[in-house]
Amino acid sequence: MWFKNIQAYRLAQGWAMSPGALEAALARQPLMPCSGMSLMSRGWLPPAGDAGLVASAGKHLLIALGVEQKLLPASVVKDEARLRATELEARQGYKPGKKQLRDLQERITAELLPRAFAKRRVTRAWIDPVGRWVVVDAASPARAEELLEHLRTTLGELPVTRLETELSPQGAMTQWLTVGDAPGHFALDSECELKGTGEEAATVRYLRHDLSVKEIREHIAGGKLATRVGLLWKDRLSLLLVEPFQIKRVKSLVMEAGGDEGAGVNPADQFEADFALMTGELSALLADLVKALGGEKT
């Protein structure tokens, strides 16, 4: 259940909610299947197994937003409307007008939507009231904001702000590549992306490559800036730092090395152990990363 992506937010000082109180609030808005003409439904799901809507370890809370969306491609409706319009033209002796075509598409949509395939996706969030973190496992800020907005609606308020550091990841990553090293507990891994400036900016990507080579410094000297850099943290985690502040492809090297040590363990106990390990590691990672980026903006 490790988070693969990190969209990080700061929780206001003093915010607190017990697992029971949060559970009761989320239970008022569970995920319900799309019904009738509804194209999308949002609501809360158990974040792990069939347990409650809130999983906890110490003061750490884990929740999950479910989104169910019916898939009815516009091309399917248009193709069917085209066939029926041809039939209608043959019956009435002239081409259907704009209003007739619009009514036809609406009728077809109403017929097909109840039978449309429903796709479900889940976004998880970890809340740490003591450390004042809200971390969403989402590949994009838009997905994270979707969860936060629904949580804000559910709770009535949610005092969070996007994490901002004194140094932008872009400026810091460019500097790290220039000197061929990363600060503190970080080390450069083997991936980076450099972009030029301007509307038609060139992009250079390095994969599975030594990032200390002269060629990268020459690109930077020519005006390109780093937009993503692979990093290792304490030889325990690998990650991709992205501009603006996002962390992607988080991987626990320790858990990978452990192989199948969890085989035969009760799933609930395994989840609790994994959640405790993840929150501990990611809390320390975020603290070190904020420090490497000059601290938080005040």
pLDDT of 85 > 80? The answer is yes
- pTM here is 0.86
Amino acid at 254: V
Q: Note whether residue 261 is domain-resident.
A: yes
Residues 6 or more apart from 293 whose CB is under 8 A from it? Answer: 165, 166, 167, 168, 169, 172, 245
Residue 239 included in any domain: yes
**21-62 residue pLDDT tens:** 999 999 999 999 887 667 789 999 999 877 799 999 889 999
Instruction: Take residue 14 and report the two structure tokens written for it.
Output: 């003093």
pLDDT at 270: 86
| Average pLDDT over every residue of 109-130 | 87
Question: Could you tell me if 141 and 250 lie in one domain?
Answer: no
**In this predicted structure, what is the pLDDT of residue 221?**
95
Does 46 lie in the same domain as 80?
A: no
User: For residue 12, what is the DSSP state?
Assistant: P
Polymer length of the chain: 298
Say whether both 197 and 264 belong to one domain. Answer: yes
Do 196 and 259 share a domain, yes or no?
A: yes
- Answer whether residue 115 shows pLDDT above 90: no
What value does the mean pLDDT take over residues 227-252?
A: 97
Q: How many CB atoms sit inside 10 A of residue 232's CB?
A: 17
State how far the Cα of 251 lies from the Cα of 243, in Å rounded to an integer.
Answer: 19
Domain count, the chain: 3
Q: Are residues 141 and 54 in the same domain?
A: yes
Beta strands of the chain (E only): which ranges? 7-11, 40-45, 55-57, 60-71, 117-128, 133-137, 160-162, 186-195, 203-207, 225-233, 237-242, 246-252
Mean of all residue pLDDT scores within the chain: 92
Residue 29: CB atoms within 10 A of its CB come to: 17
Peptide bond just before 169 cis, omega within 30 deg: no
* pLDDT confidence of residue 291: 97
What is the tens place of the pLDDT at every residue in 152-187? Answer: 999 999 999 999 999 999 999 999 999 999 999 999
Question: Which is more confident, 188 or 51?
Answer: 188
Separation between Cα atoms, residue 290 and residue 6, nearest integer Å: 13
What integer pLDDT is reported at residue 263 of this predicted model?
59
Confidence band, pLDDT 50/70/90 cuts, at residue 264: low
Same domain membership, residue 151 and residue 15: yes
Q: What is the mean pLDDT of residues 116-141?
A: 94
In this predicted structure, the answer to whether residue 259 has a pLDDT above a threshold of 80 is: no
**Residue 47 resides in a domain:** yes
